[in-house]
């Protein structure tokens, strides 16, 4: 199974999503698209659904919100594709899809390399992740930081696809990611959208 990963589109309408996003997901022939929040409008999900079915995570989680009154779409609202958190079972892998992912020992947002810099005892990380998500998982897909990353620590794969149009908070073409799953394997990679221009 091939899954397209995207987060933080942060556009007011679907026509502002870079065309390279659709080109990349079509070229990769994805079976499913997971949007890790920063959606802003359901038109974005409708656009992505032209390529493959979509599930999305909203912005409000564990008391954190990007604004005092997040839109109903970001909090779930009436769109069945959007939940604050999805726990998915795909090809035998348990996957969390969430916008904001916080761990108690990281004082700020989870950025590339942050987990590796921590002194976490062997076997402790899966328990911390399970406590936060209220479910054991093997893969965590999250957004919000605008920094793309694919890292694996203590048996858990952490993926932030970055942003297609605001990578590292810069207004330029960014990234999406691909997650490939089989019953026996998992792999993830970042796609630079400039390669699809």
Domain boundaries, the chain: 2-196
Strand duo 156-160 + 139-141: pairing: parallel
Instruction: Determine the pLDDT at residue 76.
Output: 46
Report percent pLDDT > 90 for the chain. Answer: 72
Least Cα distance to 160 among 74, 57, 19, 30 occurs for 57
CATH class given for the domain over 2-196: alpha beta
**What number is the average pLDDT over the span 21-29?**
98
Instruction: Determine the pLDDT at residue 105.
Output: 74
Q: How much is the pTM?
A: 0.90
Strand duo 139-141 + 2-6: pairing: unpaired
- pLDDT tier for residue 118 given thresholds of 50, 70 and 90: confident
Between 193 and 63, where is the model more confident? 193
- pLDDT tier for residue 103 given thresholds of 50, 70 and 90: confident
Write down the H helix ranges in the chain.
19-28, 42-49, 124-133
Strand duo 156-160 + 175-181: pairing: unpaired
Q: Report yes or no: 88 and 53 within 8 Å, Cβ to Cβ.
A: no
Instruction: Determine the pLDDT at residue 80.
Output: 87
pLDDT at 66 over 50: no
**What number is the average pLDDT over the span 23-36?**
98
Q: How far apart are CA 184 and CA 91, in angstroms?
A: 9
Our measurement of the distance from residue 95's CA atom to the centroid of its chain's CA atoms, rounded to an integer in Å, reads 11
- pLDDT tier for residue 171 given thresholds of 50, 70 and 90: confident
Query: Which residues on adjacent β-strands are paired with residue 32?
Result: 3
**What number is the average pLDDT over the span 129-139?**
96
Residues in the chain: 197
- pLDDT tier for residue 69 given thresholds of 50, 70 and 90: very low
Instruction: Determine the pLDDT at residue 71.
Output: 45
- pLDDT tier for residue 107 given thresholds of 50, 70 and 90: low
pLDDT at 13 over 70: yes
């Amino acid at each position: 199974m091939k899954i397209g990963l995207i987060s933080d589109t942060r556009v007011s309408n679907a026509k502002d999503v870079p065309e390279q996003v659709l080109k990349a997901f079509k070229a990769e022939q994805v079976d499913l698209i997971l949007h890790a929040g920063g959606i802003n409008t359901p038109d974005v999900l409708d656009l992505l659904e032209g390529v493959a079915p979509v599930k999305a995570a909203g912005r409000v989680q564990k008391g954190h919100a990007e604004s005092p009154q997040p839109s109903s779409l970001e909090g779930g609202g009436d769109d069945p594709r959007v939940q604050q958190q999805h726990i998915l079972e795909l090809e035998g892998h348990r996957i969390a899809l969430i916008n904001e992912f916080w761990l108690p020992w990281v004082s700020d947002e989870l950025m590339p390399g942050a987990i590796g810099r921590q002194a976490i005892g062997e076997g402790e990380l899966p328990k911390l992740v399970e406590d936060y998500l209220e479910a054991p998982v093997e893969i965590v897909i999250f957004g919000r930081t605008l920094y793309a990353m694919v890292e694996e620590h203590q048996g858990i794969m952490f993926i932030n696809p970055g942003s297609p149009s605001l990578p590292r908070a810069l207004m330029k073409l960014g990234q999406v990611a691909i997650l490939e799953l089989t019953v026996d394997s998992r792999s993830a990679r970042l796609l630079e959208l400039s390669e699809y221009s």
